[in-house]
Amino acid sequence: MKVLWFSLSPGLSDAYLNNNYEGIGWIKSLEKNIQDKIDLSIAFYHDKDIAPFKLGATTYYPIKRYKNGKLTKIKRRLLNTIESPRDIQLFLQVVKEAKPDLIHIHGTESPFGLIQKYTDIPTVVSIQGTITVYRYKFFSKISWFDVLKHSDLKSLLFARTFIHVYKQFAKIASREQDIYKHSKHFIGRTAWDRRVTKILAPDAGYYHNDEILRSGFYTNKWSFKPAGKLQLFTTIWGNIYKGLETLIDCARLLDNINIEYDWHLAGIGRNDEVVSIASKGNKHQISPNIKFLGMINETALIEGLLQSHIYIATSHIENSPNSLCEALILGVPCIATNAGGTSSLMEDNKEGILIQDGDPYAMAGAIMELKDNYKKAIEYGAKARERALLRHDQLKITNDLLSIYEAILQTKHEPSPLVAVNANMPETNELLTAN
């Protein structure tokens, strides 16, 4: 079976390309498990013009990204443009060269899924996040005024504030809805993404397939540490819908009742712009007990989680956040906002505690609840780990994905009509078809 992936990650070719990027680890993990079972190719964006190459069992197709000069970036942000129309032709050229039996698009938020308008090759789309829904939670507790008032001057001058990001989200959401409209098959992981799919693509098939985590999280296990100072841990990215302001408010509440704790925060630094915005220019004092770790590698992340007493997920919207999954599979007692698909990962009051997103009082109260009854916290962590090991079982996920591929290939499709994306895009000469 010849399968072509389109992904924002270069997979296991990352080191070869000298990207040294820690993100999108599940793509690499899945590739490692499946590459000897199918004839796999991976297409991905890259900043340099590089010919297709093969490493191990996988063939890689780097797709030259649009020009990345400073003026070009500013222009794109000001005009809220996303990908170039020429990109669709580049995607189709990869399909023509790779000659896959099946195409697997990783994510609805990238333009890759648009190729379904120009090919009848069986295609399945994995749902990662859904920008259409994320837009509703983007300014959950931080207003446009907060962003404008507390953004860096450079961000304002170079059109890279979170307001500009939000406007780009609008364009991406529109494109994403077009992808949903033309997709016949989806792979998801949570009740949330299944329900969203029923609305955005009511006639499409939906398959469940979980994600393989990074290898280190399977070989390590959390164990109870003597109480001492309470150690909290959160992994968070620099977007304003990730709930950093809730974390800052929660820490202040803990300070008010004189709790001794350290709250280690991986993924952002103390001087990152999102910190100023979330604390509204530091008028909401940032607790000295919050320890900003910045970006850390897998080894440091695992060690930080193993040394913690409680992991806390703070986001206003998620599908199945890998950061929470990684804490759960280690067995760390967890508190998470009941946002998006998190309730599919962790059962409330059995495997952890779910709270309303944006509520620092409930978050602080949940922390105190586990602190005061740590035996219960340990039990939650053990039960969560037990289910997480089954959910993220590498062999099962690999075999399930192969079964999904087989099921889709057995489904007959009518060819899709050829329609130009816009007037600036060169017309495709032929409809790409399966072998």
Q: Give me the CATH code for the 215-391 domain, please.
A: 3.40.50.2000
Predicted confidence at residue 283, as pLDDT, reads 67
Residues contacting residue 176 through CB under 8 Å, at least 6 positions apart? 108, 109, 113, 130, 131, 132
CB distance 113 to 183 below 8 Å: yes
Q: Report pTM.
A: 0.89
Q: Domain segments of the chain: what residues?
A: 2-212+394-409, 215-391
Which residue positions in the chain have pLDDT lower than 70?
19-24, 66-84, 227, 281-284, 412-435
- Residue 59's nearest CA partner among 126, 107, 115, 13 is 13
SS3 391: helix
CB distance 311 to 332 below 8 Å: yes
Predicted confidence at residue 412, as pLDDT, reads 56
Residues contacting residue 197 through CB under 8 Å, at least 6 positions apart? 127, 180, 186, 188, 204, 206
Same topology, domains 2-212+394-409 and 215-391? Answer is yes
Predicted confidence at residue 19, as pLDDT, reads 64
At the topology level of CATH, where does 2-212+394-409 sit?
Rossmann fold (3.40.50)
- Distance, in Å, from the CA atom of 284 to the CA atom of 16, rounded to the nearest integer, reads 45
- Which strands sit side by side in the sheet containing 290-294, from one edge to the other? 290-294, 261-266, 230-235, 310-313, 334-337, 353-355
Predicted confidence at residue 421, as pLDDT, reads 32
Predicted confidence at residue 162, as pLDDT, reads 87
